[in-house]
Amino acid sequence: MSTDFDILIVGGGLVGGSLALALRHSTLRIGLVEAVTDAERQASSASERALALSRSTVQILDGLGVWTAVAAKATPIQHIHVSDRGHFGKTRLHAADQGVDALGHVAIARALEDAIQTHLDGTPITRLCPARVMGLKAGPDSVLVSLRHHDENVNVSARLLVAADGGNSTVRSLLGIEQDVRVYGQTAIVTEVNTGKDTRFTAYERFTPSGPLAFLPLGRRKCSVVWTLKDPDAEDLLQQGTREFTASLQNAFGYWLGPITLGSRPQGFRLKLIRAEKMTDDRVVLIGNAMHQLHPVAGQGFNLGLRDAAMLSERILAQAGFDEDIGDGAFLSRYAEARRRDLGRVIRFTDTLVRVFSNDFPPLVVARNLALVTLDRLPFAKQLLAHQAMGYGNRL
């Protein structure tokens, strides 16, 4: 096995796996370190989560060659319906008005993981799995990494180490990079429901006095639900039996999709915004959840992480093409600077969503209802909103 790499990617999840795919046709020597075996991943219920994929994400996945496999199992979002329960504000976006076949798609994480793993098979990328990073040290020309691979200790080196090892990043901890954590005192309850009426491929975002409630279509008669509530309210709901919980959910959402029945056990996720205090260190760059962990409310985490991978791969290929050092500090700083704007914009957007739309302060309720009504009447403003929803805020 090779122990000398140009790039060592730690974490072969959605973002690290996508980066590896983006670089697979290059002549760079790439190592991919993943802690979880394929059999363990297949058995994990975390892979059952639904991901809202923006249109720009779909375009990147298409470029990576995996979209065809994912599309076969994904649901197109043809309409977005935003409303405020018990108030007058409402706005609707339609794919046809934007001249596109879908504003985005909803896919189960497992479909994406499977497609990425399948496409990695047969590439020259060295896969170390199951393996974990135990220590690392950056030198002038390379970073030295000690790994636990199966039951052996292995030392490898790389010109650049990419940390894509998720929210509890070991690489970030080993480097002592602090995190900026914002706790919202809210919990997102995630579940699936079967619907009495056809979803007609509509995604609903409904603002209720208890918090925002999203229904994402999974085919015609099923939806993935993300319901955000204050921590104590969520705890109470999670204690309820199936019948009582379904009645509470139905009451909050209404009958837009007829009577609903529960399709999976509701799970609670505490809402936090976690950001690493820096994106780079000597010969190391952090991407995906290792760098930023957003709450699932706005469905942005993977979309943002994939854009990290897309931009990093583009820049690495260009740098390597000029025979320049891909671990050079100035090169990594330029990448970090280029990503800062997109990151800041998405974080502000999700933060505003939580603060403004979870708030029942009367002037704010009136303001957001007026905004929804105004949006519904102004084609230009709607087009801007649709542009954001499709993930074109920052074109790559």
Q: Contact positions toward ligand FAD, by CB under 6 A?
A: 10-16, 33-36, 49, 51-52, 132-133, 164-167, 170, 190, 269, 288-289, 296, 299-303, 305
* Smallest separation (angstroms) from ligand FAD to the CB of 67: 15
| Residue corresponding to tokens 């690489």 | 171
* Smallest separation (angstroms) from ligand FAD to the CB of 288: 2
- Between residues 14 and 156, which has the closer beta carbon with respect to ligand FAD? 14
- Between residues 109 and 316, which has the closer beta carbon with respect to ligand FAD? 109
- Between residues 14 and 23, which has the closer beta carbon with respect to ligand FAD? 14
Angle, helices 362-377/329-357, rounded to nearest 10 degrees: 110
* Smallest separation (angstroms) from ligand FAD to the CB of 327: 19
* Smallest separation (angstroms) from ligand FAD to the CB of 191: 10
* Smallest separation (angstroms) from ligand FAD to the CB of 71: 16
- Between residues 253 and 302, which has the closer beta carbon with respect to ligand FAD? 302
* Smallest separation (angstroms) from ligand FAD to the CB of 104: 9
- Between residues 227 and 302, which has the closer beta carbon with respect to ligand FAD? 302
* Smallest separation (angstroms) from ligand FAD to the CB of 109: 6
Is residue 343 a contact partner of residue 93, using CB atoms and an 8 Å limit?
no
* Smallest separation (angstroms) from ligand FAD to the CB of 148: 9
- Between residues 41 and 365, which has the closer beta carbon with respect to ligand FAD? 41
* Smallest separation (angstroms) from ligand FAD to the CB of 88: 28
- Between residues 309 and 365, which has the closer beta carbon with respect to ligand FAD? 309
- Between residues 28 and 106, which has the closer beta carbon with respect to ligand FAD? 106
- Between residues 44 and 261, which has the closer beta carbon with respect to ligand FAD? 44
| Residue corresponding to tokens 């780079």 | 280
Q: What is the 3-state secondary structure (H, E, C) of the chain?
A: CCCEEEEEEECCCHHHHHHHHHCCCCCCCEEEECCCCHHHHHHCHHHHCEEEEEHHHHHHHHHHCCHHHHHCCCEEECEEEEEECCCCCEEEEECHHHCCCCCEEEEEHHHHHHHHHHHHCCCCCEEECCEEEEEEEECCCCEEEEEEECCEEEEEEEEEEEECCCCCCHHHHHHCCCEEEEEEEEEEEEEEEEECCCCCCEEEEEEECCEEEEEEECCCCEEEEEEEEEHHHHHHHHHCCHHHHHHHHHHHHCCCCCCEEECCCCEEEEEEEEEECCCEECCEEECHHHCEECCHHHCCHHHHHHHHHHHHHHHHHHHHHCCCCCCCHHHHHHHHHHHHHHHHHHHHHHHHHHHHHCCCCHHHHHHHHHHHHHHHHCHHHHHHHHHHHCCCCCCC
